[in-house]
Amino acid sequence: MLTDYIRAALAQAHYEILDDGTFYGDIPGLHGVLANAGTLEACRAELQDVLEEWIILGLRLGHTLPGVGGIQLDAALESA
């Protein structure tokens, strides 16, 4: 379930090239999940790391995480 959530979130990611030539990426609807790196590949990897840390911290703090791609992570973990 966690892997599906991460994949669904990353599939919604938005990337752009900034004026300084670096790449910026974020995931709409997931506040604070963003990355900036020198290459698109590095930006994607950084964005995944940020997303994973965001999920762990959110769950640890008891936050309700938004559903992504029809997956509601909180409910799935509570029923496990």
Predicted local distance difference test score (pLDDT) of residue 74? 73
The CATH code of the domain at 2-79 is 3.30.160.250
Beta bridge partners of 68: 71
78, HSE (Cβ side, Cα atoms, 13 Å): 9
Predicted TM-score of the model (pTM): 0.90
Rg (CA), the chain: 13
- Are 8 and 72 contacting, i.e. CB atoms less than 8 angstroms apart? no
Q: Assign 35 to helix, strand or coil.
A: strand
- Are 12 and 70 contacting, i.e. CB atoms less than 8 angstroms apart? no
Boundaries of every domain in the chain: 2-79
Predicted local distance difference test score (pLDDT) of residue 46? 98
Record the tokens describing residue 56, joined without a space.
């762990």
| Mean pLDDT by groups of 10 residues along the chain of 80 residues | 95 98 98 98 98 95 92 68
Q: How many residues does the chain have?
A: 80
